Structure 1
Amino acid sequence: MSSTIPFLDLNLYPDPSSSPSTPTLIIPKIEPKLEPIDEPPPLPPTPPSQPTSSSHPELQLSTPSPSTPFPTSSSEPDLCSEFYRISELFRSAFAQGVHRHGNVSILPDSDPNFGAIVPVPNNETQLSAVVISPRGTRKYPQRSSELVRVTDLKADDHRYFRDLIRRTRMLFDSLRIFSTSEDDKHRDLLVPQKRTRGDLKAAALMRDAGLWLNRDKRILGDIPGVAIGDVFFFRMELVVVGLHGHPQAGIDYVPASQSSNREPIATSIIVSGGYEDDEDAGDVIIYTGHGGQDKHNRQAMHQKLECGNLAMERSMHYGLEVRVIRGFKYEGSASGKVYVYDGLYRIIDTWFDVGKSGFGVYKFKLVRIENQVEMGSSMMKLARSLRVRPLEMRPKGYVTLDLSRKKENLPVLFFNDIDGDNGPVYHEYLITTIFPSYVYNYGNGTGCECTGGCLDDCFCAMKNGGEFAYDSNGILVRGKPLIFECGPHCRCPPSCRNRVSQKGIKNRFEVFRSRETHWGVRSLDLIQAGSFICEYAGVVLTREQAQIFTMNGDSLIHPSRFADRWAEWGDLSQIFSDYVRPSYPPIPPLDFAMDVSRMRNVACYMSQSSIPNVMVQPVLYDHNNVSFPHLMLFATENIPPMKELSLDYGVADADEWTGKLAICN
């Protein structure tokens, strides 16, 4: 499929100044270049942590929880200690939760292994003996020290690795959102308590399940499946996919103790402005080495040429490239920051200099390698400018600054700098689907009575199986066959947490002419995974009407052809062995078509992809006829500004009634 080329043995190409004698094994003092810890935005206080089982019977913790993967000795709170604290919470919650269900034994105080968790085999499932000892004695496989490059990737290989990365990140986000939504259910506003970190919970569970990527090899250069411009909200997500192997260190490298010639080699760095002497000009970076900072991130002593600093110098000596990830504050991010992969750089110079604080620092000059796609951070800056000054940034190409003619909450731009095809401006813009009138006569007009806002035990929650589909921030917790939102017969206010998709778009979109996909849609805002995007709107036709329209050459969309991607969002089967795919509320096969030949909205211009970043989620809110749901679109990954949005339109069955696939693809 692809080739991994072992990195050359540096012993064969020694430094001319080095001694020919066999080097002595030296265990360096690991002193990483620390960066500011990811801290989520301030949240309401939470009660003291109490071990509780999940409120979802199909999501009970049935796999061993991780203990600490990192030793911590500092009394100050840092990312490692927080990771350890979360892991201990999960260990405790698992022990008590599954003990209630009779499938584990908790050893008594008299047992020398008190606190260990021992699964007990039953007649249905033979569980292997797994023991988790208390206080961080669990052993995890060490990261490989073998350096390789991945080459000769074919088109199928790129699709495979991209889908692997997509699914891994989707699981990470699903776990993170699910854990925070569970915290919300048990939050007591009267008892102040620091809220636990959903990203650390997700990473801990995925590591325990062996789902962290790229641990068996140290990849030099690009990570297969990770594209330039990919955006990450959390440092732990970088670790999970293997893009940057340290949760807080700014320099990721192979230590001298693991290197083949006892010289450290750098593989990636994070540029986040944590050091006052850093200079970032985009293609050229002056990067400050690690060490010498106090707890306030101020330079307090001279740096030394060791560990990460020495790894950077050795990578320059051997002409090796490093991955560069930029981190910066971003409004609307789940953590308050974003990390963008900006491609490969080479270190061309290094020197020791007096920094702004008067202490000696090592500086490294990095230059971006040519012939790479545009940096993701540059595209984010462009999008930010386009949001306020579109005509100034692009004097030519904009056909209209609002394709919706003020029908949407935010303008939908239309950009075409390829040809004179301005077809989208001649179609009537829809903000929601038009159903036949008889659809609204189905069922009664009963709604919830929650005048102050819906709770988990209200009427609409019961229609959804006893839980709401969204968390407190309006993020989809997991996909379902159908979601009931509060509607016109409900007494809850417009701010109700169960009114998400009916409120219209919240991001600024741009329809554009594309050479590859004919038409395309991109956002000028960063879209968080699980967020609502827009409705796929059109005019609903019955089977008989659709056959007549098809004979006239009109363009139809068949909802039954859309792939069931909703089932992937929130699928925790790789973590919880007893996970069951949601089947409630049920929905019949969608036996209707949508005419989008004359009336449509921005969704109709999204391109087809077998690895989409957008999914279709059926939703009802303005009527109760489950045969005619609204087709609401949600993001399945973090979608950077200016990145094209894509759907899986599916394929037609051989015996399906005549119709066309998406008009724009």
Structure 2
Amino acid sequence: MGSIVPFQDLNLLPSPFCTNPTTTLLTPKIEPKAEPLDEPIHTHQFEFHHNTPGPFNSSSTIAFFPNSQNTPVPEPNFDQDNVFSEYYRISELFRSAFDKRLQQQYGDVEALDPDSRAIVSVNQDNQLSTAVVSRRKYDKRSSDLVRVQDLGMDDQKYFRDVVRKTRMLYDSLRIISVDEEEKRRGLGQGRRARGDLTAASMMRDNGLWLNRDKRIVGPIPGINIGDLFFFRMEMCVIGLHGQAQAGIDYLPGSQSVNGEPIATSIIVSGGYEDDEDSGDVIVYTGHGGQDKFNRQCEHQRLEGGNLALERSMHYGIEIRVIRGIKKYEGSVSSKVYVYDGLYKIHDCWFDVGKSGFGVYKFRLLRIDGQPEMGSTTLKFAETLRTRPLSVRPKGYLSLDISMKKEPMPVLCFNDIDNDHDPLYYEYLAKTVFPSFVYNLGSTGAGCGCVSGCTYGCLCAMKNGGEFAYDNNGSLLRGKPVIFECGPFCQCPPNCRNRVSQKGSRHRLEVFKSREAGWALRSLDLIHAGDFICEYTGVVLTMEQAQIFAMNGENLVYPNRFSAKWAEWGDLSQVLSDYIPPSYPSIPPLDFAMDVSRMRNAACYISHSATPNVLVQFVLYDHNNLMFPHIMLFAMEHIPPMRELSLDYGVADEWTGKLAICNE
């Protein structure tokens, strides 16, 4: 078990930059280094509906302190540890829209989850002590500084799963709330809904924000270098960077044990004229002295976040660095944020900036021995998408093993050995079903929505009265099976209910790695809820499968895939009356898929108990519930070049993959 230890006591040595440290520490100026917003904030109020629900796995736990739901949200303490004025204004408006509904739904439940795994202090024997945690409001962040160290593999998997589930709930809330707002007022009518603020507000009111009970110095358990975020509030929810807009996250001196502020993370976005970023080396400009247009108009002072960075340099405290990249291809927001690891501040000085005013500058160096920066991988993938041979002249076996059968090319890369295995199979873009499947259960009936499907049409009714996707093609809620519009429907190809049948929208790459053998990744950024591709093969009845298995053929059994679809869109932690989706129901799948000679790129996806891809069963070209298509969707934001993983239910005990991937 890893250790979560209190941060060391800091001595009271005065800063070499302070001529009057006592005065500066007692009266810090609350003036954050404001970062440009993801997009202009506009407030909307709307009623949140839920028709088809689904709870989290009861055996899974999330590290948080649940709060009481029958007490009003207290006024926030607007001190320098929580610069949330704009966020709080917005969240209160959203909260007021939900207040009546929340009061009707929630009671004063005081039960404590015995498996909450709350972060606790360390006793004298350096062992984690047991904590009894009571429900409380998340009105402010803790002032306790701790560092997490020596986490074992089981601990790393646990915290990664906690973060994954929290982010999945956040993205589900964000997507569903925007869809509900567009449904209420009409698509394209009025200003764009801020689902990121709505999701964060609801999770905060339900005590679902992570890492609020302790302030973590250094890496956050469960967050990996290269993880992507599209919204500032998402980073607040998981505790990576606790400021809604400020670029410097720090513990103020008023809360510190020794009265000195300590910085823990910064966001580098390139939006300030005196910043310099060359990757491993950053010259970061302090905050203060700017007007409302982010123009420097007066000298900066060594206080607030500036003093916190200087003190962190003095004590040798590492800083988490998140980079904001503007207008990255495929991003759902104006920026994409990527966690790039830990840096140390090596120098600090007062200089004349480009504007002619004095600014504080901090020179940060990246700590050695960490994985490659996520921002570097993003830039590399961007080049690969347009000029693959220019950056990787050797190793490509094919620039499209699908031979144009897919909407986007599927590359095949191996610079490890001479294995050409993926080239020896016929690429199968769509699953091959027995002919009788199209005769049994096919009614020939379809919707008559000539201009595109609307709520209340036949296909919506087949899905329980709602659509499975939003207007961007993202999965709203996982269901036992989804009915997409098919060949008998009169709606156009761009209908919102035609998503997975169109094929992959992402540039996939089958590649050979030293650790995992053949695997699959994307050159594109994949959003949580996005369709990735179909898992294809030749469908066999169980009688046929028994014969093929005796001949040593490679078979996949769809009934063994874990039901991760039930976790996507599950709002049981924020809505007490949320019911698991059960309609349309699907019988046990009594068939196998032969992928011995005909397959697609999905067959090379790795197995994982904590996957980033889920299986969703879909019907569109026939209505036989016993033979659905196996469609794959992203459970989380998947950065370019990150390996895709799937829970097969049963995998090879030695390799952690299906045997077909390692022949």
What is the TM-score with the length of structure 1 in the denominator? 0.88
- What's the counterpart of residue 580 of structure 2? 581
**Per-residue Cα deviation, 1:79-112 (whole angstroms, up to 9, x for no partner):** 74354234323323431x468xxx48xxxxxxxx
- How do 1:224-623 and structure 2 match up within 5 A? 224-329=221-326, 330-443=328-441, 444-623=443-622
**Structure 1 residues 442 and 290: alpha-carbon distance in aligned structure 2, compared to 1, 3 A threshold:** same
**Structure 1 residues 480 and 662: alpha-carbon distance in aligned structure 2, compared to 1, 3 A threshold:** farther
Shift of 1:483: 0.2
Shift of 1:664: 1.5
Distance 1:439 1:554 in 2: 23
Q: Is the 8 Å Cα contact of residues 63 and 576 (structure 1) preserved in structure 2?
A: no
Q: Is the 8 Å Cα contact of residues 64 and 91 (structure 1) preserved in structure 2?
A: no
Distance 2:558 2:198 in 1: 36
- How do 1:170-249 and structure 2 match up within 5 A? 170-188=168-186, 193-249=190-246
Shift of 1:550: 0.9
Distance 2:52 2:632 in 1: 28
- What's the counterpart of residue 135 of structure 1? none
Shift of 1:504: 0.5
Q: Is the 8 Å Cα contact of residues 66 and 88 (structure 1) preserved in structure 2?
A: no
Shift of 1:425: 0.5
SS across alignment from 2:501: helix
Q: Is the 8 Å Cα contact of residues 554 and 595 (structure 1) preserved in structure 2?
A: yes
Distance 1:250 1:259 in 2: 20
Distance 1:640 1:40 in 2: 25
Q: Structure 2, unaligned stretches of length 5 or more?
A: 55-67, 113-135
- What's the counterpart of residue 638 of structure 1? 637
SS across alignment from 1:583: coil
SS across alignment from 1:382: helix
Distance 1:488 1:88 in 2: 45
What is the TM-score with the length of structure 2 in the denominator? 0.88
**Structure 1 residues 442 and 481: alpha-carbon distance in aligned structure 2, compared to 1, 3 A threshold:** same
**Per-residue Cα deviation, 1:546-592 (whole angstroms, up to 9, x for no partner):** 11111111111010110000001011111111111100100011111
Shift of 1:11: 2.7
Specify the code of the residue in structure 1 equivalent to 2:193. T
Specify the code of the residue in structure 1 equivalent to 2:196. D
Distance 1:277 1:516 in 2: 42
Distance 2:452 2:499 in 1: 14
Q: Is the 8 Å Cα contact of residues 65 and 205 (structure 1) preserved in structure 2?
A: no
Distance 1:219 1:306 in 2: 22
Which of 330-339 and 624-633 deviates more? Answer: 330-339
- How do 1:1-40 and structure 2 match up within 5 A? 1-11=1-11, 26-39=26-39
Specify the code of the residue in structure 1 equivalent to 2:519. G
Q: Is the 8 Å Cα contact of residues 72 and 81 (structure 1) preserved in structure 2?
A: no
**Per-residue Cα deviation, 1:389-447 (whole angstroms, up to 9, x for no partner):** 11110111111111111111111111111111101001000111000000000231100
Distance 1:509 1:464 in 2: 30
Distance 2:137 2:437 in 1: 59
- What's the counterpart of residue 52 of structure 1? 47
- What's the counterpart of residue 90 of structure 1? 95
Specify the code of the residue in structure 1 equivalent to 2:365. V
Distance 2:220 2:434 in 1: 50
Shift of 1:279: 0.6
Distance 1:63 1:336 in 2: 34
Specify the code of the residue in structure 2 equivalent to 1:4. I
SS across alignment from 1:176: helix
Q: Is the 8 Å Cα contact of residues 66 and 90 (structure 1) preserved in structure 2?
A: no
- Report the number of matched residues: 618
Shift of 1:6: 1.5
Distance 2:630 2:209 in 1: 34
Distance 1:50 1:315 in 2: 42
Q: Is the 8 Å Cα contact of residues 40 and 335 (structure 1) preserved in structure 2?
A: no
- What's the counterpart of residue 63 of structure 2? none
Specify the code of the residue in structure 2 equivalent to 1:197. R
Q: Is the 8 Å Cα contact of residues 217 and 264 (structure 2) preserved in structure 1?
A: yes
Q: Is the 8 Å Cα contact of residues 427 and 599 (structure 1) preserved in structure 2?
A: yes
* CA-atom RMSD in angstroms: 2.9
Q: Structure 1, unaligned stretches of length 5 or more?
A: 105-118, 129-137, 654-659
**Structure 1 residues 66 and 448: alpha-carbon distance in aligned structure 2, compared to 1, 3 A threshold:** farther
Identical columns (%): 65
- How do 1:72-111 and structure 2 match up within 5 A? 80-81=85-86, 83-95=88-100, 97=101, 103=104
Distance 1:58 1:599 in 2: 37
- What's the counterpart of residue 131 of structure 2? none
Distance 2:433 2:84 in 1: 52
SS across alignment from 1:174: helix
SS across alignment from 1:399: strand
- What's the counterpart of residue 111 of structure 1? none
**Structure 1 residues 213 and 523: alpha-carbon distance in aligned structure 2, compared to 1, 3 A threshold:** same
Distance 1:52 1:206 in 2: 16
Shift of 1:63: 5.6
**Structure 1 residues 68 and 637: alpha-carbon distance in aligned structure 2, compared to 1, 3 A threshold:** farther
Distance 2:91 2:16 in 1: 48
Q: Is the 8 Å Cα contact of residues 241 and 265 (structure 2) preserved in structure 1?
A: yes
Q: Is the 8 Å Cα contact of residues 469 and 476 (structure 2) preserved in structure 1?
A: yes
Q: Is the 8 Å Cα contact of residues 65 and 90 (structure 1) preserved in structure 2?
A: no
Shift of 1:65: 9.7
Distance 1:477 1:575 in 2: 16
**Per-residue Cα deviation, 1:496-533 (whole angstroms, up to 9, x for no partner):** 00000000111111100122221111111100000000
